[in-house]
Copies of this chain bind each other. A is one copy, B any other.
Amino acid sequence: MNTDTTAQAISDLKDLLGERISTGESILEMHGRDEAYTEPALPDAVAFPESTEEVSGIMKICSRHAVPVVPFGIGTSLEGHVIPIHGGISVDTSRMNNILEIHESDLDAVVQPGVTRTQLNDDLRATGLMFTVDPGANATLGGMAATRASGTNTVRYGSMRENVLALEVVLPDGTIIETGSRARKSSAGYDLTHLFVGSEGTLGIITKLTVRLFGQPDTILAATCSFETVDNAVNAVIMAIQMGIPMARIELLDEVQMKGMNIFNPDLNLSEKPHLFLEFHGSESGVQEQVSMFESVGEEFGVSGLQWATKAEDRNRLWTARHNAYFAGKSLRKGCEGLITDCCVPISALAECISRSKQLVAESGMIAPIVGHVGDGNFHLMILIDPNDPEELTQAKLLASKVNILALSLGGTVTGEHGVGTGKKQYMKEEHGTAYALMATLKRAVDPKNIMNPGKTVEVG
């Protein structure tokens, strides 16, 4: 950081934003960390724009002074995306949180980037429509698009990759562009929408999103069931996917995680065996058909303890428990922190990947529950560490690294949904080979001064 230019940029930003540029200590701290076990770093100031034009003004100023800009949604990222490792201006989009348009006929909505997924769904309730991407956290849609987020519903409804139709983006030089349109498809030139989805704020700031909506299903049925082994549970999932059962959710929680679930939610009262948490959406008869197909699959793999949650409150309890898996996992060890890693493999390799990952965990001697969006081939390993023991952190990082390399060796990716940020940058060359240099070429072309979230995702330099 060059202190003079940054001070000058902040002064210019004050002219633009008045009180809405802050250097208050607590504000800086709030924008210096994320939800994972990543080292914090403070921005020099935090900007709170209220319009696209203001974001454009911020970018022009920061571009002129070559000061880093780090977009910030609500801070729920897990790989250090929002941490200003080179200082600069954190651009907090929380005041740009208007739902601009809901097109019921077209099954889409246009929102500002600070809108959260529950905010949008609350707004949609009366329409009979829903926004489906659900990463667990009540993240902002801007952040979810930037990290190409997905979650429990993705097996049926897709990730942000499939659910973002169009974007408005402010480029590093302040230019405002619109990518895509509300038309369902187009062959008109390069797919800029998908270039920005998953670019983690390194190419521009998302200031508006058009997202896809789905009709709320007539019938929703949730269930839990257990298997003797993780292999059996995963193989049941693989067969269900192959048979084309359109499950809305199919989540694995291994026996370690289930132990934590019972400590954290004593009223959940499920056996400490590997579990699947399921949800079926459709018409009444359609759901019935899915259920009977799933039951026959389950039987082949020795399913037991199948419990149905038909009432909304039972369903909500179930999915709240699933969403709290992080805290449940942490309750396995007093005072611990969780180092989370996330990878994704072709579904045929999933049983092997999870079973070999569990072997690696056993060899490490650490405690590390597994939960996963297994219908996508995606799972998360949470390694529990004593935050005051640097040796444990080193060991945990080594274990996470082994699991990620394993996923790559099985034709997968080092991150199914958490993104690269700083946490996964070390694997990018290995995952992408010669394609990684092309990513750097694109970054340099779009952001020649390297001011957009520098040091994340793609190495340039």
Contacts and interface: CB of A to CB of B under 8 A. Distances in A.
B344 A183 contact: yes
Interface stretch (A37-45, A148-156, A359-367): A148-156
Contacts of A197: 191
Interface stretch (A2-10, A14-22, A431-439): A431-439
A442 B190 contact: yes
A283 interface: yes
B189 A428 contact: yes
A411 interface: yes
Most buried by B among A184, A189, A192, A214: A189
A187 interface: yes
Interface stretch (A82-90, A252-260, A381-389, A416-424): A416-424
Interface in A220-275: 238, 241-244
Contacts of A198: 187, 189-191
A141 interface: no
B418 A187 contact: yes
A408 B419 CA distance: 35
Contact of A105 (B348, B418, B441, B443): B348
Contacts of A106: 346-348
Interface residues of A, number: 86
A241 B107 contact: yes
A281 to B, nearest CB: 10
A185 interface: yes
Given A411-B182, A413-B181, A238 B105 contact: yes
Interface centre among A188, A424, A446 (most CB of B within 10 A): A188
B344 A184 contact: yes
A214 B245 CA distance: 12
B181 A411 contact: yes
Contact of A412 (B181, B347, B377, B419): B181
A270 B411 CA distance: 51
A214 B348 CA distance: 15
A433 B417 CA distance: 32
Contacts of A195: 190-191, 194-195, 442
Interface of A: 103-108, 147-150, 154, 159, 161-162, 171, 175-179, 181-192, 194-195, 197-199, 214-215, 238, 241-244, 283, 285-286, 289, 344-348, 376-378, 411-420, 424, 427-428, 431-439, 441-446, 457-458
Ranked 6 nearest A-B pairs via Cβ: A445-B445, A194-B194, A105-B348, A186-B413, A177-B435, A215-B244
Given A181-B412, A194-B195, A195-B442, 14 more contacts: A105-B242, A175-B437, A178-B435, A183-B411, A184-B377, A186-B413, A187-B198, A187-B415, A187-B418, A189-B432, A189-B458, A191-B195, A194-B194, A442-B442
9 contacts: A103-B346, A105-B238, A148-B185, A183-B413, A184-B347, A186-B413, A188-B424, A215-B244, A285-B289
